[in-house]
Amino acid sequence: MALLAVLAVALWRINPLPRDSHHGPIDIAAEISNSEALENHVRSMVDREVTRVITTINAQPGVVKQFPPTEKLLTTQQKRILVTGGAGFVGSHLVDRLMRQGHIVYALDNFFTGRKENVEAWIGHPNFELIHHDVVNPYMIEVDQIYNLACPASPPHYQYNPVKTIKTSVEGTLNMLGLAKRTKARVLLTSTSEVYGDPEVHPQSETYHGRVSITGPRACYDEGKRVAETMMYAYKKQDGVDIRVARIFNTFGENMHPDDGRVVSNFIIQALQGKDITIYGDGKQTRSFQYVEDLVSGLVKLMNSDYDGPVNLGNPDEYTIREFAEMIVQMVGTKSKIVHLPSTQDDPSRRKPDISLAKRVLGWEPKVHVRTGLERTIEYFRHELERTGKFSPIKPDELKGFVAKKSGKGN
C-alpha cells in the first residue's frame, strides 16, 4: 500500500484528479483512503504508461518485440477465453485486461469497426491469437469462457446495414451459444441499454421491459439484442448452458473509432479541430456516461460471479447532451460553437441506469470520474489526429459510401 501511495502521488502530479462538474472538487484524501479504488486507479495509469513506452520501443527498427507484463498463472488457473469483437473499442480493453491477468485469449473480429492496431501490443504473444472471422458463421474452438461482444454499437454503424446488424446479434449469438453448449463454456452476452428504448421509467432497472419501436431506424440493434437475450435464457432453460447477460449503458474511452459517430467521439473530434459542436435536437435529452475501464471491470466480475440474470453496467451520473458538450468545449479549450440540428428519429429522451443490482450481486460500481475518463480520451483523440490527420464525424446517410470503399462487403 505504501508503494501504491508513492506511485499515486507521482502519477497524480502528471494526471491529477479533476474537479467533478456535478459535485465540486474531488476529495483526494477520500480517494486514497479507498485502497481498492486507489490500487485500480494507479494500476490503470501505470499499465497505460508501460504500454505506451513498450509501443514506442517496438516501433524502433531491429528491436525484438516486447510485451506488456502479465501475471504468471498455474495451468489449472489459466482459462482459455474467446472474445468476439475482440479488436473493437470495448473488446480490445477486455482483451488487454484478460491478457494481463495471465489467461489465454482468442480475439475474434471481422474488422467492420474493429482495428488490428487496438490489440497490436499483444500480437505475437504466445497466449494471444487474433482471428479474422465473422460470428454470423460458426467457429470451432475449445474454450472455457466466451465474451460475446460482436456487433457494431454506434447508430451510424449499425444503421448502415440493418440486416447485417440483426444477423450479428441473432445468428452470432446463436453460434456462440452452440459453441458454449458443445464445450460447456460459460458465455456472456453484452446486451445494451437500448433494450429499454425510450423509457417511461427513470432510472431504468433490470425489471423494466422497455418501450422500443420495432420499425424505427434503431430497431435493428434494439430488437436484435432483445432477441439475443431471449435466446440466452432459452438455451439456459432447455440445454443448461451457463450464461451471463450485461446491459451496457453509454461507454467511452481510448480505442473508440474516430468515425464512430457517437456523442463522445463526435464532440471531442469536433472540439479538437475547432469545428462546430453538433447536437441533434434541443440538447435536453440526457445520457449517463461510463469510462471503459469501469465497464471492463464489471464484465469480468459478472463473468466470474454466480448471478445469471441481466445486470445493468453504467454510470448513474446523468448529464444533458448540452451540458456534456459544454464540458468538452471547456476541457479542450476550444473556441468551437455549439449548434443544433434536427433531432434523430427515436432518440431516447432520458437514459440513466439503476445499478443497485450490480452493487449488490457483483460489488461493482464505477470508480473513474467522468472528467478523468474524458481527459484520457481527449489525449487519445489528440494523438489520433496528429497521427492520421483530420476527421469528420460520419452520419448514417453518409456511411454507405465510406464503408463500401473500406470493405466492399454485403450481407
On whether residue 8 sits in a domain, the answer given is no
Residue 64 within any structural domain of the chain: no
Nearest to 181 by CA among 143, 215, 225: 143
pLDDT-derived band at 55 (thresholds 50, 70, 90) equals: low
pTM above 0.75, yes or no: yes
* pLDDT on residue 247: 98
Question: How far is 100 from 91, CA to CA, in rounded Å?
Answer: 14
How far apart (Å, rounded) are the C-alpha atoms in residues 144 and 325?
42
What is the DSSP secondary structure assignment for residue 310, as one 8-state letter? E
Q: Which three cell numbers stand for residue 307?
A: 448471478
**Model confidence at 376: pLDDT above 90:** yes
In tens, the pLDDT along 103-151 reads 999 999 999 999 999 999 999 999 999 999 999 999 999 999 999 999 9
Reply yes or no on whether the pLDDT at 53 is more than 90. no
For residue 226, is it within any domain? yes
Residue 221 is among the residues annotated as catalytic for this protein: yes
Q: In this structure, what CATH number is given to the domain that contains residue 305?
A: 3.40.50.720
Band (21; pLDDT cuts 50, 70, 90): very low
Nine cell digits for residue 41? 486507479
What integer pLDDT is reported at residue 216 of this predicted model? 86
Q: Active site residue: 221, 235, 291, 319, which one? A: 221
The three three-digit cell numbers of residue 184, written as one number: 460447456
Q: What number is the average pLDDT over the span 222-236?
A: 97
Q: Contact 253/292 with Cβ under 8 angstroms?
A: yes
260 Cβ contact partners less than 8 Å away, ≥ 6 residues apart: 89, 113, 154, 156, 157, 266, 393, 394
Task: Specify the residue for cell string 429522451.
Answer: 349
Query: What is the span of the domain harbouring residue 225?
Result: 80-403
β-strands 186-192, 145-148: how paired? parallel
pLDDT tens-place string over residues 157-196: 888 899 999 999 999 999 999 999 999 999 999 999 999 9
387 contacts 325 by C-beta, under 8 angstroms: no
In a domain, residue 372? The reply is: yes
**Residue 41 lies inside a defined structural domain of this protein:** no
State the total domains in the chain. Answer: 1
Instruction: Answer yes or no: is 260 within a domain.
Output: yes
| Residue-level pLDDT at 158 | 81
- Tell me what pLDDT residue 9 has: 43
Distance CA 173, CA 179 (A): 10
Confidence class of residue 343 from pLDDT cuts 50, 70 and 90? confident
Cα four-point dihedral sign 115, 175, 90, 381: positive
Q: Is residue 13 part of a domain?
A: no
275-279 mean pLDDT: 95
